[in-house]
């Protein structure tokens, strides 16, 4: 059997990227700008949604793929919405030789104390992408080299590709309470959860495996480590009309299922590491 090869450099628009490939044809594309996974193809099918209007010039946030929201979720704090690292250039760690049936890429971004307005901490943040046959795992590691505890919120803001959102059934939220960001109300999740209007809810622990079924493809979504919330989002048509980097029908073909920390910040002790991960696995 042919062994995987090390990640290779590739450009997409104005972005410096890395391509991960497996002998069976699966691949992933990761941008140094934001350490953002832009594509994951498994079984000959694209599994992530990247807006055809996404900004690919390295000057702003990229709509789609797996944006890294850190060290702040949304506008819940003094920093710009969803933090700052999704608009920073990350440094790739020298790729190691692939092992077994997987290939891995690590990228890191480091901040000195006071380097970022509103963020007094030193930190070292690593994003690790592991590609396996039919599976993709994305992990975020936060190291605190400073003398005081480091607190943050954040998310892996994963945009999943779906055929038509109105045909999607999201299984696995039964028993979890969701906070609706549109109304401020809280209530139990439907099982399965279906979509017929703008949807923006945060579900707390306990985390369970989720299954996204759009009638043609099925994808299992898992999360672990320090991620204790799951965000589910679709902007629907009216909200999409206010987003210049999303086409008019973009809402039909995407569903965000995010591994997150929204309500309770993570706390990283001096000299310690925090790790949170999300995995996507095909089952169609």
DSSP string for 111-148: E-TTSBTTB---EEEEEEEEEETTEEEEEEEEE--SSS
What CA–CA distance (Å, rounded) separates 134 from 283? Answer: 8
Mean pLDDT of the chain: 95
pTM value is: 0.97
The pair phi, psi for residue 236, each rounded to 5°, is 60, -170
Residue pLDDT, tens place only, 23-79: 999 999 999 999 999 999 999 999 999 999 999 999 999 999 999 999 999 988 888
Residues 6+ apart with CB under 8 A from 248: 237, 240, 241
Domains of the chain, start order: 8-282 (2.70.98.10)
- Under the banding of pLDDT at 50, 70 and 90, the label for residue 279 is very high
What pairs with residue 11 in β-bridges?
Answer: 16
Name the token pair of 23.
């002998």
What CA–CA distance (Å, rounded) separates 72 from 64? Answer: 18
Name the token pair of 121.
């901490």
Residue 64 buriedness (CB in 10 A; 0-12 / 13-18 / 19+): buried
């Amino acid at each position: 059997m042919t062994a995987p090869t090390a990640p290779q450099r590739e450009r997409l628009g104005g972005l410096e990227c890395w391509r991960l490939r497996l002998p069976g044809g699966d691949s992933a594309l990761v941008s140094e700008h934001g350490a953002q996974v832009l594509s994951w193809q498994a079984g000959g099918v694209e599994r992530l949604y990247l807006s055809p209007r996404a900004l690919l010039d390295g000057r702003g946030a990229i709509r789609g793929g797996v944006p890294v929201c850190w060290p702040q979720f949304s506008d819940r704090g003094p920093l710009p919405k969803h933090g700052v690292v999704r608009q920073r250039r990350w440094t790739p760690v020298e790729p190691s030789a692939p092992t077994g049936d997987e290939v891995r890429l690590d990228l890191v971004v480091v901040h000195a104390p006071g380097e970022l307005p509103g963020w007094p901490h030193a930190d070292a943040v690593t994003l690790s992408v592991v590609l396996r046959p039919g599976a993709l795992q994305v992990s975020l590691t936060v190291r605190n080299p400073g003398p005081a505890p480091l607190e943050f919120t954040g998310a892996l803001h994963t945009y999943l590709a779906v055929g038509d959102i109105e045909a999607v059934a999201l299984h696995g939220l039964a028993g979890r309470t969701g906070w609706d960001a549109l109304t401020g109300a809280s209530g139990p999740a439907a099982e399965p959860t279906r979509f017929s209007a703008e949807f923006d809810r945060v579900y707390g622990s306990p985390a369970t495996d989720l299954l996204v079924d759009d009638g043609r493809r099925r994808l299992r979504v898992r999360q672990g480590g320090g991620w204790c919330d799951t965000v589910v989002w679709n902007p629907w048509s009216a909200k999409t009309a206010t987003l210049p980097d999303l086409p008019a029908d973009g809402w039909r073909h995407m569903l965000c299922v995010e591994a997150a920390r929204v309500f309770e910040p993570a706390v990283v002790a001096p000299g310690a590491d925090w790790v949170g991960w999300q995995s996507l696995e095909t089952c169609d």
